[in-house]
Every structure is written in structure tokens, then in C-alpha cells.
Amino acid sequence: MNSAGSSLAAVVRGHNRRIVGEVLITLGVGVVSCIIVFGGMYWLTYLAFTMCFRGLAYGGPWVMAGIITGVFFLVSLAAAWRQVDPIAAAGVKFRHTPGEMVKDMVGIGLGIPIIRRESLAGGAAMLIGGPANLLELWPLWNGRLPTNADLIAESQKLLAASAAGVNPQAVRDPRTIAILYRLHLIKAVHQADATLLLQPTQKGMELLAAAK
């Protein structure tokens, strides 16, 4: 593989490393969020059935806590799958007017929670957050680019040819277009005669210049 191809391969590897990093971060955030939110829900539910609702704890407090927490997790997972936005769905606009601040202060002072749509929507968003991160893992992982040497070489040839303009229909392997486009190395430019040509972006021209 020539130096230009090696440069493109390095760009592809760098892109894939960023994808893997995003996957690991998203996985960590999702797991930690689920542990904190649903672990806290399980603990509070367990305490409630232990201290206040022992007579209703079928199978024991830990069983009821697990069932309730599991139901909330499945509902949150389904909402995350459907990409529900609780805040937008409720039409919530967060406001901090003096009257609302006074109500919050009074509620805190008296130990009475002031429940508004903002707090309910925020709570729902918190429940959905962890599962949403977990569901995002697969699309992120699929964002990696192929590292096949022959495909990289063909992509490099296309990048070099794009300096003079390339008709997309003349490209034998559409995957080369996808690789270069996703790396922001080429762009589609409409010509005066309504034809479409692939041309290098500024980043693409810099990569070609560095390979010379």
C-alpha cells in the first residue's frame, strides 16, 4: 500500500478508535445510570414494603421491589426504543418565576413536595436515560468503517480521481464513496449542466497533499 493509502488507512483507524471510545463511554454512562436510578428505585420500594406495606408484599418485600422495578425498567426500555421525549411530549417549558420559586421554598420548608409537570417530565426523562444509552450502543458500533486493505486502496484511488471530478455512477464499488463521504473527504457538487460530480473537500485535499 502506498503512502497515500497508508494515510487513508490511518484516518479510518482513527475514526474506528473514536467510535469504540464513544461506545465505551455510552456503555459506562448507561450502566451507571441504570444502577443509580433503578437500584435506588429498588431500594426505596423495598423499604416501603418493609416499613409501610408489609401486608401487601406478596412473596416478600424484595420480590415486590424487584417486580415493580422490573416493570419500570421494561416500560422505560420501551419508551427509549420508541425514542419518546417526555419533556417535549408534555409540552413542558421550564420557568423560574418568583411565584414558582416561592412555592418550591414553601414545599421544602413544610416537607411537602410540590409536583409540577416539569418534575414529572424530568423524572420520566431520568428513567429513560439509562436504557436509551444502552439502546444507542448497537447503532454506534455499526458506525465503524471497514479496514479491508483492498477496499482502502480503492477508496484512495477514488479520492485521488475526485480531484478532477468523478461521476458517482462510474464508481464500481459504492462502499468507497460511503467511506470517503463519512470521513468528510469528498462531497457531491452539482454542475451547471445538472450533473453531479464527486470532489474532494478541504480535508480530502489536505490528505492528498500530505501523501505527495
The correct answer on CATH 1.10.10.10 for the domain covering 149-211 is: yes
Mean per-residue pLDDT over the chain, rounded: 82
The tens digit of pLDDT for each residue in 109-141 reads 444 455 555 556 666 778 888 899 999 999 999
Looking at residue 116, its pLDDT comes to 57
**Is pLDDT above 70 for 38?**
yes
Among 13-22, 57-66, 102-111, 203-212, name the one with the lowest average pLDDT.
102-111
**Is pLDDT above 60 for 91?**
no
The tens digit of pLDDT for each residue in 126-179 reads 888 889 999 999 999 999 999 899 999 999 999 999 988 888 888 989 999 999
The tens digit of pLDDT for each residue in 62-74 reads 888 899 999 999 9
Domain ranges of the chain: 3-141, 149-211
Looking at residue 60, its pLDDT comes to 78
Find the mean pLDDT for residues 179-183.
94
Lookup: cell for 28: 459506562
Looking at residue 100, its pLDDT comes to 57
Looking at residue 23, its pLDDT comes to 96
